[in-house]
Amino acid sequence: MSEKTLAPSQLDQRDASWYVDKLVQILMFVGGISAIIFIIGIFVFITKEGIAFLFEGFSFTEFFGSINWRPTSSNPTYGALALIVGTASVTGVAMLVAIPFSLGAAIYISEFATGRTKETLKVLVELLAAIPSVVWGFIGLSIMNEFIIEVFDVPIGLNVLNAGIILGLMAAPIMTTIAEDALKAVPDRFREAAEAMGATRWQIIRQVIMPAAKNGLVSAVLLGVGRGFGETMAVLMASGHAINIPTSPFDSVRALTATIAAELGETAQGSEHYGALFALGIFLFIITFIINLAADLVVRGIRKK
């Protein structure tokens, strides 16, 4: 056989790069699958711990309709309404704070800042996102508490307003990052075309860029909401942790997450109280799952366009 004409069997050899490729594929698969397995595992665990309660002590109307969360009374009741409203009201205030801050910052970074300023700001925002939540809780407990008492002349400063502001400041950096990504993804030729027509900066942002980035901006907000529902430590420290349906921002409330964190250590494993806390956990899991799913579907919407 001449050297130049190779038989098909000689051409078709598995070489090192073929094996490396297969190996990487397998590793990626294992990595991806294990993430999914962990999530399913967590859900199964929470459900398993809460399931007995859901079938025995659980009353749908009590859980969602009563504000009496009295797990330790001699005749215990498990009404989660006040906790749900507490979490929702804190998250609501947080979004009022975080949406203007994060959108404003994202627009500034993406559309106005250039060069050094832009890079510095991006790094700063990422640093802010890395501040541990207990530090934010501490700021709420000490600085914000006194500030609210001083400024609004109210007896306690640990309330919906305090927790909402703290949570809003916490959520803003990650929302800024996502919103900025969405704005950055709008191609420059759209900006140039609108500039050439004589649109002002603000007209371009309002009428061209924000509509084009709408889905990304919405998903930034939804992720912020998800963060608000799930945050525990800062809310525990800043909200006052009192079971209460708030009628003003100066009322203390208690959050779902904070309740679980504060009480789980004191309950006997397998007790009714223990099961009830896991029922709260299942509820939270479902809510955050829905919010994240919504955010994901919205983001998918962008890609389709």
Contact residues toward another protein (CB under 8 A) are 114, 186, 189-190, 192-200, 203, 207-208, 211-212, 305
What are the beta bridge partners of residue 253?
240
Query: Could you tell me the smallest distance in angstroms from the CB atom of residue 38 to another protein?
Result: 38
Q: At what angle are helices 272-304 and 256-263 packed, to 10 degrees?
A: 140
Query: Could you tell me the smallest distance in angstroms from the CB atom of residue 22 to another protein?
Result: 40
Query: Could you tell me the smallest distance in angstroms from the CB atom of residue 6 to another protein?
Result: 44
Q: Between 120 and 203, whose beta carbon lies closer to another protein?
A: 203
Query: Could you tell me the smallest distance in angstroms from the CB atom of residue 213 to another protein?
Result: 9
CA–CA distance, 110 with 182 (Å, rounded to integer): 9
173 touches 126 (CB < 8 A):
yes
Q: Between 18 and 190, whose beta carbon lies closer to another protein?
A: 190
Q: Between 189 and 303, whose beta carbon lies closer to another protein?
A: 189
Q: Between 122 and 214, whose beta carbon lies closer to another protein?
A: 214
Q: For residue 247, what is the DSSP state?
A: S
Q: Report the Cα 249 to chain-centroid distance in Å.
A: 22
Query: Could you tell me the smallest distance in angstroms from the CB atom of residue 187 to another protein?
Result: 9
Tokens of 278: 């896991």
CA–CA distance, 191 with 209 (Å, rounded to integer): 8
Q: Between 64 and 112, whose beta carbon lies closer to another protein?
A: 112
Return the exposure string of 133-148: e unless at least 16 CB atoms fall within 10 Å of the residue's CB, then b: beebbbbbbeebbeeb
CB atoms within 10 A of CB 245: 13
Q: Between 149 and 199, whose beta carbon lies closer to another protein?
A: 199
CA–CA distance, 177 with 223 (Å, rounded to integer): 11
CA dihedral 146, 150, 151, 156 (to 10 degrees): 60
